[in-house]
Amino acid sequence: MSWQQQYNKSQKWVGSDQSATDGDLYIAQSLLTAAKTWPQSASNYRNLAKKIADDILKYEYNQKDKFLTTGSWVTKSSDYYQIMRTSDVMPSVFDNLHEVTKDSTWHTVNTNMLQYLSDLSARNQSGLLPDFAVVSHSKAKPAKANSVAGANDGDYSANACRVPMMLADSSDKQAKKVLTKLMNFFKKQSTISAGYTLKGNSSNSQTMASFNAPIYYAASVNHDYGYDILFKNQKIILSDSMADLHYYDATLTVLSILGGLND
């Protein structure tokens, strides 16, 4: 699916020629959720999910270092072939895609991408992860500013803010370790800023639901880990009018309330 649709001067909707990996993963998982919700059409939904899963591995997979690239626009000869988006690490979704496709590559993707997240988490005391990382020689390091999307590519920003939600319902030990370090950092914050450097310094004086909602969800799923106060503080997202929110804030808020991607 096109990563964006735009309304042009000819008053027509035009889709981009390229896709984004995170969007493709969301769509595949949505189809699997639909299969459970409407069992009378389950086989159709599962078949569609399989097709998307196969295409992800065909067009959005770095075969050398065994991780998902950021989109179908990335080729082997591209400078972006070694770039990983941290919020594309979705252990539960990977497990579901393995179950429906029976393709062991999804286990490889899960193992390697979680290892890269662990590498990034271990690089600083805060446990904060960058929006994008560079993978080389089976190791990951934060991307430099303006490597992919903008000045915050190497910071905990608009992409990495989804990571707590992506890891929240995984039983994988590495996922839990990375998430716990992140959540322990946020437990110490009086408010959650809309962006941080990896050293833990706030880079934005604003608060945004897109940063609060994933933490709210992670705290609710892992309520036995001492996140009660963090959960209570992030409930602020429930008081905002959806109509007043930016689409990204609204989307992550709805996902966090409904139970994340895996429900």
Per residue in 36-60, pLDDT (tens digit) is 999 999 999 999 999 999 999 999 9
Query: What pLDDT does residue 12 have?
Result: 81
- Between CA 170 and CA 44 the distance in angstroms is 27
Number of C-beta neighbours around residue 58 at 10 A: 9
User: Minimum mean pLDDT among 131-145, 167-181, 239-253: which range?
Assistant: 239-253
Query: What pLDDT does residue 262 have?
Result: 65
Domain count within the chain: 1
| Contact between residue 93 and residue 106 where contact means Cβ atoms under 8 Å apart | no
| Contact between residue 133 and residue 141 where contact means Cβ atoms under 8 Å apart | yes
Query: What pLDDT does residue 227 have?
Result: 84
Query: What pLDDT does residue 260 have?
Result: 62
| Rounded mean pLDDT, 154-178 | 96
Query: What pLDDT does residue 16 have?
Result: 73
Query: What pLDDT does residue 137 have?
Result: 86
Query: What pLDDT does residue 13 have?
Result: 83
Looking at the predicted structure, is the pLDDT value of residue 7 above 90?
no
Looking at the predicted structure, is the pLDDT value of residue 261 above 70?
no
| Whether this model's pTM surpasses 0.75 | yes
Q: Write phi, then psi, for 11 (nearest 5 degrees).
A: 60, 45
The answer to whether residue 5 sits within a structural domain is no
The answer to whether residue 147 sits within a structural domain is yes
- Between CA 256 and CA 211 the distance in angstroms is 11
What CATH number does the domain containing 147 carry? 1.50.10.10
Query: What pLDDT does residue 263 have?
Result: 59
Q: Which two tokens stand for residue 253?
A: 């808020």
More confident call, 166 vs 259: 166
The answer to whether residue 6 sits within a structural domain is no
The answer to whether residue 162 sits within a structural domain is yes
More confident call, 205 vs 61: 61
- Between CA 191 and CA 206 the distance in angstroms is 10
User: Minimum mean pLDDT among 7-11, 117-121, 149-153: which range?
Assistant: 7-11
- Average model confidence (pLDDT) for the chain? 92
Looking at the predicted structure, is the pLDDT value of residue 82 above 80?
yes
The answer to whether residue 48 sits within a structural domain is yes
**For residue 100, what pLDDT band results from cuts at 50, 70 and 90?**
very high
The answer to whether residue 1 sits within a structural domain is no
Q: Which two tokens stand for residue 182?
A: 């992140």
Query: What pLDDT does residue 125 have?
Result: 96
Nearest to 165 by CA among 106, 69, 107, 248: 248
Kindly give the pairing relationship between strand 13-15 and strand 61-62: unpaired
- Between CA 50 and CA 150 the distance in angstroms is 33
Q: Highest-confidence range of 68-72, 226-230, 231-235, by mean pLDDT?
A: 68-72
Domain of 84, in residue numbers: 16-258
The answer to whether residue 44 sits within a structural domain is yes
The answer to whether residue 40 sits within a structural domain is yes
**Which contacts of 109-116 are long-range, i.e. CB under 8 A and separated by 24 or more positions?**
109/57, 109/61, 109/66, 109/67, 109/68, 110/172, 112/65, 112/66, 112/67, 113/67, 113/68, 113/84, 113/88, 113/89, 114/89, 114/172, 114/174, 114/175, 114/178, 115/174, 116/67, 116/84, 116/89, 116/140
